Structure 1
Amino acid sequence: MTHEIIQVVPRDNYTVWVYFADGKITCYDVKPNMEKGLFKKLNDISVFMHKCKIMNDTLAWDIGEAGEDDCLDIAPEVLYECPEVYE
Structure 2
Amino acid sequence: MFPKVVQVVPTHNYRVYLYFEDGKIKLFDASKLIEKGVFQQLQDIDVFKSTCTVMNHTLAWDLSGKFDPTDCLDLDPEELYNSCPDVEEPSFLLEEALKAKG
* TM-score strictly above 0.5: yes
Query: In the alignment, which residue of structure 2 is the partner of 1:34?
Result: 34
The amino acid of 2:85's aligned partner reads P
Question: Which runs of 5 or more structure 2 residues have no equivalent in the other structure?
Answer: 90-102
Query: In the alignment, which residue of structure 1 is the partner of 2:60?
Result: 60
Query: In the alignment, which residue of structure 1 is the partner of 2:86?
Result: 84
Shift of 1:4: 1.8
Q: Which moved more, 1:58-67 or 1:29-38?
A: 58-67
The amino acid of 1:30's aligned partner reads A
Separation (CA, whole Å) in 1 of partners of 2:38 and 2:20: 25
Query: In the alignment, which residue of structure 2 is the partner of 1:72?
Result: 73
TM-score after normalising by structure 1: 0.88
TM-score after normalising by structure 2: 0.76
Q: Which moved more, 1:59-68 or 1:33-42?
A: 59-68
Map 1:41-52 → 2, pairs under 5 A: 41-52=41-52
The amino acid of 1:74's aligned partner reads L
Runs of 4 or more consecutive aligned structure 1 residues displaced over 4 Å after TM superposition:
65-68
Question: Which runs of 5 or more structure 1 residues have no equivalent in the other structure?
Answer: none
Give the % identical residues.
51
Larger Rg over CA atoms: 2
The amino acid of 1:24's aligned partner reads K
Separation (CA, whole Å) in 2 of partners of 1:24 and 1:67: 24
The structure with the greater share of residues assigned to helix is: 2
